[in-house]
Structure 1
């Protein structure tokens, strides 16, 4: 205990103590001593609690850690925001600016009869289309899931320091704990979270690309989630389109996987889309992912910062059901190098001694990927089964036969410059909703459809087959998004302009 006789006080503070002592007839230092006792007790309880918690983690607490790089991280955050955090108040939150379409809808409804694009609009005058949403950020939350209490702990690792320069940002992590000798309760929660994530994203496709972190380790990272593209918007020969869809549908069926296993065949499927630029190869890959509810993992052979071991590891880390898109494999000069005799003139130089460069063979040791490395990634020992590999190329004849042999490329689909029928379908696809903004009298819908078909035939007749790519024609039609008549009137002058250029 602290005695007032040994405590040096002076001035106002000494007068205050005398006043309290006179008024309350109590020694003020009693309260000081009591406060010190409380503080010491709290510190002791915290220390004891940490010891007990550490012991419980080793004996009776089931714990699951989830890193930010894992797709499950986003699913857990989404589930917690939608189920546990929505109707609660928190002191520590994360503010996010989200887009809202209310202002756009108000702008559209202000002139529902006619879209006047000749009138210039200052969008500073339009109400802000965004709003701020507050979400729980860091901390621990205890919640109940199916009669089990689960501790949700969200934290950020401290930034790493390299030399004197700190890394950009610490990486977030999640920890889930429950009082159980088994991981079964948390496993059920994670299954619920995953099912909810699939339900929410059923109409969207997530695109993953590679990203270097602060330690220069390449990982898969979600870059965007966009609405799934309707397969009907892909302009391609119906027979080719249906052949691909039927083959993938059969491949993804659970019985097919068992059939592959029974016959000792690796459960993989590869497709090669070849053709001139702008003919819809990448668009078809995106639509395929949307049709079958798969995510897309995009790899580039031209990434100068990616080493061959990293490339092989990334291929092995893709999930069992996804689309792996390897774009423009010819752009990097992916072909078997000419056989160069060795010094003794007996042995040709191995493919592994060359790597891909910008259209030429470069010495090994660079950051490019060799042909043998790519083949090993596609169907090597570490390659996962169940994925769909789609490779696109503009010049298929440049590819080595080892890359496109059966087993690595099972179906080769050739995309050509559009025919008259495909040009007509493109026109109908662009203007399929052109009359929805105009109120047509009852009974005239068929007349509008006939008019649109007539314009489509007129438009396609002005273009030569095999002359322009779908991307070029679509670029022209986008100038007249809602004026099919003007598109038909100006197509001849556009053709002359393209031929002149």
Structure 2
């Protein structure tokens, strides 16, 4: 013990001689400063809690709400753009002009020399975003506090049990009016940014009990003209959806006591454009797409019903390949709204037919949405699922006619006769030449035999060589017919 005291005394004397001050006095001063800081922080927490109950307006936003991403985007583009932070999240993001880097490749498109894309300029950039913490910013003469807490999937709980929201907005006000104005600005900015794109949502399973909507992609809106379908069917469908979405239509439904819902069934062979048309419809009318799959192994019936009820008022709900889930037609009559057996479930899913019907038009189902179901075999669906009121319009997709094959050809090579560098005379001559080749191309294909996806796959081998497509189409047809005879189609054969 005496030896330890001697060592400590020697060490203290060494420090005193080095800094020419009593180290114990410095230690005591440091303890006093730490105590003051701790006291001030405790007092600050007390004052903040008191102000939060008296004069601070507070809005909480959960991570699963679409508003969460809208607020974070606005903060990144406005409040955080010109400020530096010590705690940030590094994110690799594709540049909006990423393709320009590849277009600057030294090799022409038709060159036989192979390109190492590691040597091409990187088409992504590193973005640093605030990760968590509190930020004070000013919006229209009002100071607001933005608090962001990092959350992980492991800590996610059902909304009714999760009180620790990852995002919080506060301002000194006796009303929520300033924050409401800010949220209106955030939503307007989000609509402006995403006016030419659609967001695709799919379900994500965080655990056995937690399944939530999650934004998986944001893609440019697809032009409806690129969807090859009978023109009369396409125009009739667009007119029906446009009338349904009109603001006056909702009141008409309410006046007549009709639930404000609209359902469509897209049926036809694979590769005929059913999902493509659903995506194009979302782009035309500025709606997001919520994709549900009955084949999801993590999807229970309660999950399915809750997720269906959580979709926003105006959106497209896409239920793909409902026949593949095993929801087969029952023996019940066409006017019956049930299936044989007390609780009949699909063969390949845990969602029963009665659960699916309840989700579509039950009391918890939201109004205003557009439901699109796709199927390859409509004859296998139960009558209760496709009765009027659940399916209002049935759009049948057939294998393409020669007119549709001609339209597909013109669509894929449209950039060749719509070149902005051409004069009007050159455009007309090039268009006439392309129409002549399209007629020749379609004439070499048998009607109603190949799907649009199969023909498009062939055309993609001749992206900028329409003449080559016309010259080789007969050989491709012979290969396909030979492949079908031997139980295998020739896909992309070289």
Find out whether 1:75 has 2:57 as its counterpart: no
Find out whether 1:327 has 2:309 as its counterpart: no
The alpha-carbon deviation at position 190 of structure 1 amounts to 1.2
CA-to-aligned-CA distance 1:334-368 (integer Å, 9 cap, x gap): 134347xxxxxxxx98544210014xxxxxxxx52
CA distance in 1, matches of 2:276, 2:339: 39
Counterpart selection for 1:264 from 254, 257, 260:
257
CA distance in 2, matches of 1:242, 1:213: 41
> Which secondary structure does the structure 1 equivalent of 2:198 belong to?
strand
> Which secondary structure does the structure 2 equivalent of 1:69 belong to?
coil
What is the aligned residue count?
A: 467
CA distance in 1, matches of 2:459, 2:152: 52
CA-to-aligned-CA distance 1:440-477 (integer Å, 9 cap, x gap): 68843322111111100000000111111111111110
Find out whether 1:274 has 2:284 as its counterpart: no
Deviates more, 1:171-180 or 1:197-206: 171-180
Stretches of structure 1 that go unaligned for 5 or more consecutive residues are 1-5, 163-170, 340-347, 359-366
**Superposition map of 1:321-470 within 5 A:** 321-338=314-331, 350-358=340-348, 368-434=350-416, 443-470=425-452
Q: What is the alpha-carbon root mean square deviation over aligned residues?
A: 2.6
The alpha-carbon deviation at position 41 of structure 1 amounts to 1.5
Q: Verify the 8 A CA contact 1:455 1:485 in the aligned structure 2.
A: yes
Find out whether 1:119 has 2:113 as its counterpart: yes
* Aligned twin of 1:150: 144
Counterpart selection for 1:221 from 201, 214, 217:
214
Query: Residues 304, 87 of structure 1: CA spacing in aligned structure 2 closer, same or farther, 3 A cutoff?
Result: same
* Aligned twin of 2:131: 137
CA-to-aligned-CA distance 1:126-167 (integer Å, 9 cap, x gap): 1222221111111110001112111111112477589xxxxx
> Which secondary structure does the structure 1 equivalent of 2:345 belong to?
strand
Q: Verify the 8 A CA contact 2:60 2:168 in the aligned structure 1.
A: yes
Q: Verify the 8 A CA contact 1:337 1:351 in the aligned structure 2.
A: no
TM-score of the pair, normalised by structure 2 = 0.88
Counterpart selection for 2:45 from 17, 41, 50:
50
CA distance in 2, matches of 1:192, 1:445: 44
The alpha-carbon deviation at position 198 of structure 1 amounts to 1.1
**Superposition map of 1:56-205 within 5 A:** 56-100=51-95, 104-109=99-104, 115-157=109-151, 160=154, 173-205=166-198
The alpha-carbon deviation at position 34 of structure 1 amounts to 3.1
* Aligned twin of 1:498: 480
Stretches of structure 2 that go unaligned for 5 or more consecutive residues are 157-163, 333-337, 484-494
CA distance in 1, matches of 2:339, 2:381: 19
* Aligned twin of 1:486: 468
Q: Larger Rg: 1 or 2? A: 1
Deviates more, 1:50-59 or 1:436-445: 436-445
